[in-house]
Amino acid sequence: FVFYLNCSLSTDILCVLLALSVVLAEQEGENLSGLSNNPDKAIFAVRENSTTCLMVEFAVKFLVPYDVLALNGIDLITEQASFILPRNAEIEGKCGSTESEIHISWKNNAYTLRIYFSKEFRDKGIEVWKISRVQFVYDTSETSHFINAYNPGKHTASTHLLSALVTPAGHSYLCTAQQTLTLISSDHQKGVTVSMYDIQIQPFDIASDFMFSEPYKCITDQRERLEETLPLVLGLILALIIVITLTVYHFHLKLTANQPQLPRDRSMYKNM
């Protein structure tokens, strides 16, 4: 968006502050996690011009390796910090026609999860959106998760050449199964694991405020649903085969009951 302010030299600072307030008013993040009954699931939205332009609903678990000093005071041992994305996080974001992003921070910015989305055209001109990059900033001096960390400080873990959660444009992505990403950390190239589950995400083309568009279900959920329904379908088919077999047998008995029966004793054939 573009806006114009009539500023003099004496009011430059005021104009800058006013411009910043306009920007902040145009795009804002909202935490809607209180609407979820799942204590592990968070709901976040980014709004532009008082309209929802990006929405995420998911539970996220982090597994972060970090170094601690061994008992001999010389060697380093790698420990694992495991924690979930809290529901009371702070939200920022940006919405665009082909690129959007959401920034989720907590513990006074000791942790920040940034998810970047983009649109593109695939084969046969089909437009899709995807997660193009994920970045996770964490501070090992934050002692609630990182205990006795060696050389504590902030590190950044990022994905490379990511194309995740590919979804047809105009749809939300829906998946209950766990989706796992591995990020490479600036802390000696350690692998940070980000696992998302109970997911519904839509970064573009939201038609109704605070409402996801028609969901596109992930392949894993479709396969699991097929595995759940297949035994039921096979059972119904087997039951139908049994009913048909019994019905045919019943009619066969009725037809044969009215026909004259030949005597089983061969000596009786002489009188016939």
Residues 139 and 187 in one domain: yes
How far out from the chain centre does Cα 235 lie? 33
Angle at 109 between CA 104 and CA 113, to 5 degrees: 30
Residues 226 and 191 in one domain: no
Per-residue pLDDT reduced to its tens digit, 189-245: 999 999 999 999 999 999 999 999 999 999 876 655 554 554 666 667 777 777 787
Q: How confident is the model at residue 16 (pLDDT cuts 50, 70, 90)?
A: very low
Question: How high is the pLDDT of residue 27?
Answer: 80
Q: Which long-range contacts (CB under 8 A, 24 or more apart) does 25-29 make?
A: 26/1, 27/93, 27/94, 27/95, 29/90, 29/91, 29/92, 29/93, 29/102, 29/103
Q: Domain tally for the chain?
A: 2
Q: How confident is the model at residue 95 (pLDDT cuts 50, 70, 90)?
A: very high
Residues 158 and 82 in one domain: yes
Question: How high is the pLDDT of residue 234?
Answer: 62
Exposure of 166 in the CB half-sphere (CA atoms within 13 A): 9
pTM over 0.85: no
Residues 116 and 199 in one domain: yes
Per-residue pLDDT reduced to its tens digit, 57-71: 999 999 999 999 999
In a domain, 168, yes or no: yes
Residue (of 179, 176, 178, 182) closest to 162 by Cα position = 182
Question: How high is the pLDDT of residue 24?
Answer: 42
Tokens of 220: 């894993």
Question: How high is the pLDDT of residue 247?
Answer: 77
d(Cα 26, Cα 7) in Å, to the nearest integer?
A: 21
Cα 129 to Cα 8, 71, 142, distances in angstroms:
44, 49, 35
Residues 97 and 176 in one domain: yes
Residues 229 and 159 in one domain: no
- Contact between residue 76 and residue 53 where contact means Cβ atoms under 8 Å apart: no
Residue 203 CB coordination number (10 Å): 29
User: What CATH code is carried by the domain that includes residue 105?
Assistant: 2.40.160.110
In a domain, 46, yes or no: yes
Question: How high is the pLDDT of residue 262?
Answer: 55
For residue 265, pLDDT over 80 is answered with no
| 57 Cβ neighbours under 8 A, 6+ residues apart | 36, 41, 42, 43, 44, 198, 199, 200, 201, 212
For residue 86, pLDDT over 80 is answered with yes
Residue 268 CB coordination number (10 Å): 10
Question: How high is the pLDDT of residue 260?
Answer: 61
For residue 2, pLDDT over 50 is answered with no
Residues 195 and 232 in one domain: no
Question: How high is the pLDDT of residue 1?
Answer: 39
Residues 138 and 231 in one domain: no
Polymer length in residues for the chain: 272
Going through 163-230 in order, the beta strands assigned E by DSSP cover 164-168, 172-175, 179-185, 191-202, 215-217
Residues 144 and 161 in one domain: yes
Per-residue pLDDT reduced to its tens digit, 109-168: 999 999 999 999 998 889 999 999 999 999 999 999 999 999 999 999 999 889 999 999
Domain boundary among 217, 238, 258: 217
Residues 134 and 59 in one domain: yes
Q: What Rg, from alpha-carbon coordinates, does the chain have?
A: 32
Residues 138 and 236 in one domain: no
Residues 157 and 243 in one domain: no
- Contact between residue 43 and residue 36 where contact means Cβ atoms under 8 Å apart: yes
* Overall average pLDDT of the 257-263 stretch: 60
Question: How high is the pLDDT of residue 151?
Answer: 94
Per-residue pLDDT reduced to its tens digit, 167-189: 999 999 999 999 999 999 999 99
In a domain, 14, yes or no: no
User: What range does the domain containing 237 cover?
Assistant: 218-248
For residue 11, pLDDT over 60 is answered with no
List 232's β-bridge partners, or say none: none
